[in-house]
Structure 1
Amino acid sequence: MTLGMVARGLPRPQALAAIVIVSIVAYVFATPVPGLGITMPFYIAPLAGATAGLLLARGCRAAPGLAYAGGTMGTLLGADILNLANPAVLTALAGGKTTVLSIGGAGIFDGIFITGVLSVLLAGFAGRRLREKAGVCPQERWE
């Protein structure tokens, strides 16, 4: 879904920048826990996604889409793939045993889903109010 949004209507440079920003934030805050997986506070990625969307959007309507793309893909890349590419993290997670790795699986999927929903809500509601108050965004009518 995220790639489809980027291909159809989101500005590609801004979407890629949002993904990179959230990936870095997710990588920094993600912690491998043996026997549990990779953990991260639930509010970090949505805040990073919404912030990236608001800062990179050129209009109010683009902010939620950028927040969603950056939040979901950035979390998947930063929390999962970048951490699992590190041999030290793999060793710490396995604890010396043979283990099965799941990319985007149970716990991470929940985090990615929550990130997508909260990023869109934060960027859509809070961002709209902030931009209207500052006079940056003209009143837009949904037709």
Structure 2
Amino acid sequence: MNMAIDLSGDPTKAIDKAYERGHPVALAYVDEQGKPCLSLRGSAQVLNADQVGLWARKTDEGLAKAIRANPQVSLLFFGEIEGGGKMLLTGQGRAHADPARNDEVYDGMIENERKFDADKKGVAVIIDVDALSGMSLATGPFSQSR
């Protein structure tokens, strides 16, 4: 059964500032040559009930370029949070040219990540989450999908 995605609660606790807790979010995507890529993202943050944002430091290569051709991405969190420990999200990512969205993501990043792009030359990547599943130590397994 399809339902709405709701990233409030444990998903937000897991993703926001995960890097500072020593458990960065891993992002999987397919590059422009069709090769799988996996990278740790200290900038990952929940933006609203069904979107995650992160920062790509380069606008014309890597993730920002790859998702133009293949926007499907996965995010993995595995670590300690108050209620649990693991979560997988899948969705559609897109690099944003909108200055307001860029500001929103850049300003929401942990300070250490902003230092890597102090001149703000990168771009916000917004992921519309289509599904998430995981395990909460407090409430057991969970899953949501559109």
* TM-score > 0.5 by shorter chain: no
**TM-score of the two chains, using structure 1 as the length reference:** 0.29
Structure 1 or 2: more helix by fraction: 1
Which structure: larger Rg? 1
TM-score by length of 2: 0.29
